[in-house]
Structure 1
């Protein structure tokens, strides 16, 4: 019953609330066991420690003199950006970088996971926005205000039940994310072996006793040390078998664009493979006044480094979508690349965002033959070679950017048809699984975002939430 819930100040139910040391710790270049958490590591309820800066043990001890960072501690960013929250999941040698608060729940009164989800609720996020610092260029929360947030507190058994419900969704989302990370690495490794390093062709050339071009000789030496049973792998038992032997070329030919490539392959620009390459624009304010905003509108910030598209998108009116922004109406399967601000993030538009739109910081690539070239072009866009190519073309203006001409001129190395067919036979099931996991995560994230504020406020009871999840999962 909501009548059993109390509303208390957060300092009353935490045994520890600590601010960071308000100066930057001296970092070292080498990897050490001691990691500094920055605000960029705290996102969406989690603390990512895979991309931390490192310090010496001496610095670590000095910067943790107020308190150690322990598993189940909840971290809150109070500036740049404000209001991001995450929980420490593992026991590591971590310490707080600047602009981060550390909360340790008093477990006789408050479940740490319930504290985490409370911080993510509308109720507490509203308080965070109300406590933004004034008179500063950068919005921030003052440290004393971080002790004054109010939290709605049900009895401990109900806290545990709510945390379990939301945690089940989060765990499934994280499992899908980790699975996709593994699948992506598998596909990337296969692409690099076949279309960047040309491993099967080098193997065939070595077996035939043919000369290896000088730029490829270092790779050839490495291939000589690979056991024979690992060479020319034609199948992937987890994702099926094309049941067709692959006849690889055993020699190379020189091209002006990419240097040495396998005999019989060709180099082309993306423009030759597409029906359309374009970008969006931002609607004028007077175009959207008093109109219902119903069409998802993508911006560069909505595409993450791993190609995930945010579930929290801005919307624009359909009238604007079909008129002044009609050139950038997106179709499912379009390949997206960020071309302004943070340049070079790659994504593929899911079915759920068909008929959406984008701003001028995103270019979209619409292939003429998606079934044939989608995976080849997608991984070409993600390759180090393409990243170096577009980096050289960046125009430093008010906002760094690359042109549509640069996108059109990205080079693609196209193999013979039977090799491309085999690549698709192996990569299609991987990409289908990745897309399915992303679509499921989109549904789960939307469901979580719907029930979280209702559970935390007491509007939705645990049995009702459990039934909603059972109906959707």
Structure 2
């Protein structure tokens, strides 16, 4: 077997600083410490590149791109020296947890010199590096594909809602208020001190229905929910940022809980439960909810009585049934995908440290 060798990171990786973010406009990704910030019409790095968050909350975060990018000044760039494989180094740097090497507590920072001084043990056998990168990449590619499938299904549901419930509205349609068709903060029961799934606001997405994570926690005081409920963030800036979630991760008859800053929404039985979630993604509804916020600056919340007065028009029974059917089919596919995503993510996260330490060895690949 090949022996892994000790290096200082600066001996195998060349680091560079990003530059001030250019004006937006174009198709080239602008990378900062927390990922893609926007798009530009020019790049400062071409080809394969590793981007590392330099400062603040995303200090030490690691991203990989194999196309031209612009790297902003709150990030660093890393490229391999000699014959090291770029994708392998990307996974190696992710496994190092670079944020743990950051200087400063209130405003953490990593620098080129700090990163370059980190001592590591790594294989310099390029075929072995390719084999390791291939295994991890195949898992990430599958995870990404499943995420994109779900994003497409969710976007289709939002498009159908906008078309069937808004754009094709007719005078003859049944009209009412949100409170007539959707129950707000329905009663849910959870005994104090019992352990139940807890969903933090930070784990609620502003783009997709499924939360990032949840965990068991002893219930004290908070908003309670069951499968089929929609959670709408009611406080600034979470509402403006688009945070909402559809609950489908609980066991049958299980009650979960979370922040008191959620509004729980549950449609009447003739509407599919996903209706409420899709409504929260509608631009007109979100604008109305934001305009309904009250309270002091920085701590404003949606007034639930005002939210209940939001005007809704319902299409024909046949159209509602078509929408319900689409939602049911799509949710089954999306839930299956999410289960597979979690399984593949756990497998990748288990393999990553074992492969990067040499505990698990793989055959050399010529691909």
TM-score, normalization: structure 1?
0.66
1:186 and 2:142 equivalent? no
Tell me if 1:132 matches 2:108.
no
Alignment partner, residue 9 of structure 2: 10
Partner of 1:230: none
Aligned length: 352
| Structure 1 position 53, deviation (Å) | 4.6
Find the residue that maps to 1:305 and give its secondary structure.
Answer: coil
> CA 1:152–1:350 in 2, change beyond 3 Å: closer, same or farther?
farther
The structure whose Rg is larger is 1
When residues 107 and 443 of structure 1 are mapped into structure 2, their CA distance, relative to the original with a 3 A threshold, is: farther
User: Which of 263, 271, 274 matches 1:375?
Assistant: 274
3-state SS, counterpart of residue 47 of structure 2: coil
Aligned pairs (5 A) from 1:319-358: 320-321=218-219, 324-325=220-221, 328-340=223-235, 341-343=237-239, 344-352=242-250, 355-358=255-258
Q: 1:357 to 1:455 in 2, by over 3 A?
A: farther
Equivalent residues of 2:178, 2:307 under 8 A apart: no
The 5 Å alignment of 1:227-242 reads none
Partner of 1:52: 38
Distance 2:180 2:356 in 1: 51
Find the residue that maps to 1:364 and give its secondary structure: strand
Counterpart CA distance in 2 for 1:311 and 1:462 is 31
| CA RMSD after TM alignment | 3.1
Taking the aligned partners of 1:329 and 1:376, their CA distance within structure 2 comes to 19
Contact 1:270 1:412 in 2 (8 A): no
Q: Is the aligned partner of 1:98 residue 2:84? A: no
Alignment match, 1:431: 331
In structure 2, what is the Cα distance between the partners aligned to 1:339 and 1:6?
Answer: 53
Q: Relative to 1, partners in 2 of residues 1:33 and 1:273: Cα closer, same or farther, differing over 3 Å? A: closer
Unpaired segments ≥5 residues, structure 1:
43-47, 202-251, 254-262, 288-292, 464-473
2:88 to 114, 117, 125: 114
Contact 2:164 2:315 (8 Å CA) reproduced: no
What SS does the aligned partner of 1:52 have? strand
Indicate whether 1:70 and 2:46 are aligned: yes
1:71 Cα deviation from its structure 2 partner? 2.6
**1:133-212 matched pairs, under 5 angstroms:** 133-134=104-105, 137-154=106-123, 155-198=125-168
Measure, in 2, the Cα distance between the counterparts of 1:5 and 1:131: 26
The change in CA–CA distance for 1:141 and 1:133 in structure 2 (over 3 A counts) is: farther
Q: Deviations over 1:344-388 (max 9, x none)?
A: 32221223575432123333324453x733233222221111111
Greater relative contact order (Cα 8 A, min sep 6): structure 1 or 2?
Answer: 2
The C-alpha deviation readout for 1:423-448, integer Å capped at 9, x for no partner, is: 22234323322232223212222222
Determine which structure has the larger helix proportion and give its number.
1
Aligned to 1:83: 60
- Distance 1:311-1:405 versus aligned 2 partners, 3 A rule: same
Equivalent residue number for residue 174 of structure 2: 265
Any stretches of 5+ residues in structure 2 without a counterpart? Answer: none
- Provide the secondary structure at the position in 1 that maps to 2:111: coil
Pick one of 393, 397, 401 that aligns with 2:292.
393
**TM-score, scaled to structure 2:** 0.83
C-alpha distance 196-275 of structure 1, shift in aligned 2 (>3 A): closer
Give the Å deviation of 1:140. Answer: 1.8
Aligned to 1:240: none
Contact in 2 for aligned 1:266/1:415 (Cα 8 Å) = no
Kindly tell me: are residues 118 and 18 of structure 1, through their superposed partners in 2, closer, same or farther at Cα, counting changes over 3 Å? Answer: same
Where 1:351 maps in the other structure, the secondary structure is: coil
With over 3 angstroms needed to count, the CA separation of the structure-2 counterparts of 1:141 and 1:408, relative to structure 1, is farther
